[in-house]
Structure 1
Amino acid sequence: MYVIVGLGNPGKDYALTRHNIGFIFVDYLAAEHGLTFKGSKWQAETVKGQLWGQSVLLVKPQTYMNKSGLAVGQIANFYQVPNENIIVVHDDLDLELGRTKIVVNRGAGGHNGIRSLIEHLGGNDFVRFRFGIGRPQTAEAVSNYVLSRFSSPEQQVLAESLANLEQGVALLVSQGVMVAMNKVNSEKD
């Protein structure tokens, strides 16, 4: 089994913001595959299905970004899923909008949601899809930027990028992390 975690914050105020790209992606996956999220006992919305020939659990922690590890740790323990079968999609300021990089065995890099996951999973050996949201063009505070919604032109880039991100996750699930890393990390903008 694979667990695909989209990081984000619950509630209408955060819906479709840059910081919620993980939620946006797992919502996209669920819609593409005819799955519907429901609440669970792990402080998360979850849905289980067969994707790319594998049993997959999609997860949206409802603990707020900085405590995402609480929910994901409980889910990993319940299903006895090894860290290497946990795939996390999160926002990354250091990548251009829509650009994706796969990393494993890396530190949090200042991302509090990732820090929480490392703490509650007991290591950093889970797979991360860093999804670029870009940096603010002005002196706007980063906290305001990550909590802002995508502009209309950015939404077009986002729509195309979600399909590419799904291809990367599908490749990882079907052929392994090294094959996926070689393909996704070598793609040019």
Structure 2
Amino acid sequence: MYAVIGLGNPGKKYNYTKHNVGFDAIDCLAQRNNVKVIKIKHQAIYGEFNLSGEKVILVKPQTYMNNSGVSVKSLVEYYKIPIKNIIVLYDDIDIDIGSLRIRKKGSAGSHNGMRSIIYHLKDDNFPRVRIGIGKPQENRDLVDHVLGGFNKEDREKVDDIILKAAKSVEEIIKTDIDKAMNMYNG
């Protein structure tokens, strides 16, 4: 069993913001696999399906970004999901818009949602797909940057990379993370 966690903030005012690209990637995965992400439990909205003989749960925590770990821990404990089978999709300011990076494990860096997950799981040995949103412009506040939207050109790049992020998660589940990293990192 796999849990694919997309990070973001609940509520319409956060839709299509830079900080919600993890939610956007879950929506893309759901659409590609004909899944309804409508179940409510574990302080999350989620949906389930099978991919290559594996049960997969698509999850959008509803605890707000900085408390994502509360929801993730509840779900992981309930379903007894191995840490290595948790895949987290989230925004990263240290990666250019239109790029993504897949990693097998690692620190949270400056991302508060990932900090919360690592803190609550007491482990960082799970795959993650980091979706580039770029750094804020010189005089722009970080919070304003991540909670802001994309211009038209950047939105097109992000939509392309969200599709690649969704495909990379499918590849991780169907084959393995090394193959997905070789195909999609860059």
Smaller-chain TM-score bracket:
over 0.9
Partner of 1:25: 25
Structure 1 residue 184 displacement after superposition: 2.4
In the other structure, the counterpart of 1:130 is: 130
Change (3 A) 1:32 1:105: closer
- Verify the 8 A CA contact 2:51 2:174 in the aligned structure 1: no
Partner SS state of residue 96, structure 1: coil
Q: Which amino acid aligns with 2:152?
A: S
Q: Secondary structure at the match of 2:13?
A: coil
Report how far residue 116 of structure 1 moved: 0.7
Residue 183 (structure 1) aligned with residue 183 (structure 2): yes
| Cα RMSD, aligned residues only | 1.3
Taking every aligned residue pair, what percent have the same amino acid on both sides? 39
1:117 Cα offset (Å): 0.5
SS of the equivalent of 2:41 reads coil
The answer to whether the Cα contact below 8 Å between 1:104 and 1:124 also exists between their aligned partners in 2 is no
Distance 1:136 1:9 in 2: 19
Residue deviations 1:17-74 (CA, integer Å, cap 9, x gap): 0001100110111122221122422000000012344211000000000100101111
Letter in 2 for 1:175: T
1:1-189 equivalences in 2 (<5 Å): 1-185=1-185, 187=186
Give the gaps of 5 or more residues in structure 1.
none
CA contact (8 A) 2:21 2:162 kept: no
Query: Displaced runs of 4+ in structure 1, greater than 6 A?
Result: none
Residues 94 and 132 of structure 2 are in contact (CA less than 8 Å); yes or no, is this contact kept in structure 1? yes
* 1:58 aligned counterpart, secondary structure: strand
- Are 1:63 and 1:70, in contact at CA under 8 Å, matched by a contact in 2? yes
Using the size of structure 2 for normalisation, the TM-score is 0.94
For 2:17 and 2:109, the matched residues in 1 are separated by: 20
- Kept in 2, the 8 Å contact 1:100–1:132? The answer is yes
Distance (whole Å) between structure 2 residues aligned to residue 51 and residue 18 of structure 1: 28
Deviation at 1:164, TM superposition (A): 1.4
Report how far residue 109 of structure 1 moved. 0.5
Q: CA deviation at 1:8?
A: 0.4
For residues 8 and 32 of structure 1, do their structure 2 counterparts lie closer, same or farther at Cα, with a shift above 3 Å needed? same
- Counterpart of 1:156 in structure 2: which amino acid? E
- Where do 5+ consecutive residues of structure 2 fail to align? none
Q: Report the Cα distance in structure 2 between the residues aligned to 1:37 and 1:183, rounded to whole angstroms.
A: 27
SS in 2 for 1:13: helix
**Contact residue 52 and residue 170 of structure 1 kept, 8 A:** no
